[in-house]
C-alpha cells in the first residue's frame, strides 16, 4: 500500500492564532491530513468551535488558551499540549493583524503616525507572531531534532502597500526572521518557512474590501484590478501550502522559503 507523502498521522501540530479565519482553516487542513492539532489563542469560544468542527470531521484536536505576547503563557501552553497530544513537530505561527492607530487614512500625514500603534503592530506580528513562538516551541523541536515551523507573513511584507505601513514593515521583518532562523537551525532537524497570503477576506479586513451591500470598496476594487485571477482568496486555498510545508517527507529539503499564495497579485506592476 502506498502512503501519501502528505500524511501527517502521528504528528502534533500547534496553530497559534488558530481561532482566526485563516489560522483556523489551516488547523482544519492539518487535522484532515492526520495530525493531532492544538488550536491556540485567546478566544475559547472561537477556539472550541474550531475544535468541535475538526472533531466532527473525524480529526483530533484540543483548544489551548495562550497569549502569544507572553513567553511564560506560551511555555505553559506548550507543556499542556505535549501532555495531551505528544511532542510538537509542527508549529504554525498565525497570530497577527493590524491596528487602526497604525493605519494612515487617505491624505494623512505620515509624520503623525502613532509610535504606540507602530510598536503594537510590530509586537503583534513579529514578537508574538514569530519570535516568541519560535523560541518556546523551537526549544523542544531542537531537543528532539525534528520540527517544521511555518510563519504566516503576508504579501504586504513583499510589497509596501499604502496606508498599512507598520503592518507591511512588520511582515517584511517576519520574512527576514524566517530566513535567519532557517539558516540557524538547518542542520538541527528544524525547518523554518513562511507563507505569504495575498488578500483573503476575514472579519478584520472585510470592511476595507466590501461595502455593506456586498460590492467592492474603492480599495477592494483596486486590489481586484491588480490581481490576475480577478478575485480574493478563500481560506481553504492555503491548505495545500501549509500541509506541504508541515510534511517532513513532502518538503524535507525546503527551508528558508516564503511561499506566496496571492492569485498573482505580487507578479503585477502596481
Task: Tell me: pLDDT of 3 over 80.
Answer: no
Side-chain-side CA neighbours of residue 58 (13 Å): 4
Q: What is the pTM of this model?
A: 0.94
**Superfamily (CATH H level) for 12-198+233-260:** NAD(P)-binding Rossmann-like Domain (3.40.50.720)
For range 80-95, the mean pLDDT: 97
CA distance 204 to 221: 18
Express each pLDDT in 91-123 by its tens digit: 999 999 888 887 787 778 888 888 999 999 999
Express each pLDDT in 120-157 by its tens digit: 999 999 999 999 999 999 999 999 999 999 999 999 89
Express each pLDDT in 233-252 by its tens digit: 999 999 999 999 999 999 99
Q: Do the Cβ atoms of 75 and 14 come closer than 8 Å?
A: no
CA distance 181 to 184: 5
Cell for 83? 501532555
Express each pLDDT in 217-236 by its tens digit: 888 888 898 899 999 999 99
Closest by CA to 174, choosing from 93, 112, 107, 247, is 93
Closest by CA to 30, choosing from 49, 16, 11, 45, is 11
pLDDT recorded at residue 106 = 77
CA distance 38 to 18: 8
DSSP string, 48-104: HHHHHHHHHTT-EEEEEE--TT-HHHHHHHHHHHHHHH-S--EEEE------GGGSP
Task: Tell me: pLDDT of 270 over 60.
Answer: no
What are the structural domain ranges in the chain? 12-198+233-260
Strand bridging mode 36-41 / 12-16? parallel
Instruction: Place 1 in a pLDDT band, splitting at 50, 70 and 90.
Output: very low
CA distance 140 to 188: 12
Mean pLDDT, rounded, of the chain: 93
pLDDT recorded at residue 139 = 97
Catalytic position from the list 167, 177, 200, 232? 167
Beta-bridged to residue 194, according to DSSP, are 151, 258
Instruction: Place 269 in a pLDDT band, splitting at 50, 70 and 90.
Output: low
Q: Do the Cβ atoms of 17 and 40 come closer than 8 Å?
A: yes
Q: What is the DSSP letter of 266?
A: G
Closest by CA to 36, choosing from 74, 9, 4, is 9
For range 169-174, the mean pLDDT: 97
Is 216 among the residues known to form the active site? no
Amino acid at each position: 500500500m502506498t502512503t501519501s507523502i502528505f500524511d501527517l498521522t502521528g504528528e502534533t501540530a500547534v496553530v497559534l492564532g488558530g481561532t482566526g479565519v485563516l489560522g483556523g482553516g489551516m488547523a482544519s487542513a492539518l487535522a484532515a491530513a492526520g495530525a493531532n492539532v492544538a488550536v491556540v489563542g485567546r478566544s475559547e469560544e472561537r477556539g472550541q468551535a474550531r475544535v468541535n468542527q475538526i472533531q466532527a470531521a473525524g480529526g483530533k484536536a484540543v483548544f489551548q488558551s495562550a497569549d502569544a505576547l507572553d513567553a511564560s503563557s506560551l511555555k505553559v501552553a506548550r507543556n499542556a499540549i505535549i501532555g495531551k497530544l505528544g511532542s510538537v513537530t509542527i508549529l504554525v505561527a498565525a497570530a497577527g493583524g493590524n491596528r487602526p492607530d497604525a493605519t494612515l487614512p487617505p491624505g494623512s500625514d505620515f509624520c503623525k503616525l502613532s509610535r504606540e500603534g507602530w510598536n503594537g503592530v510590530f509586537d503583534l506580528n513579529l514578537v508574538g507572531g514569530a519570535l516568541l513562538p519560535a523560541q518556546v516551541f523551537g526549544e523542544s523541536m531542537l531537543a528532539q531534532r525534528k520540527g517544521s515551523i511555518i510563519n504566516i507573513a503576508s504579501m504586504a511584507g513583499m510589497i509596501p502597500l499604502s496606508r498599512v505601513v507598520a503592518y507591511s514593515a512588520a511582515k517584511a521583518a517576519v520574512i527576514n526572521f524566517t530566513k535567519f532562523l532557517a539558516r540557524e537551525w538547518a542542520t538541527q532537524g528544524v525547518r523554518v518557512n513562511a507563507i505569504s497570503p495575498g488578500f483573503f477576506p476575514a472579519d478584520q479586513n472585510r470592511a476595507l474590501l466590501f461595502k455593506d451591500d456586498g460590492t467592492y470598496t474603492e480599495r477592494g476594487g483596486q486590489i481586484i484590478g491588480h490581481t490576475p485571477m480577478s478575485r480574493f482568496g478563500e481560506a481553504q486555498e492555503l491548505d495545500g501550502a501549509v500541509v506541504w510545508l508541515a510534511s517532513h517527507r513532502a518538503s524535507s529539503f525546503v527551508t528558508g522559503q516564503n511561499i506566496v499564495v496571492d492569485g498573482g497579485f505580487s507578479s503585477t506592476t502596481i
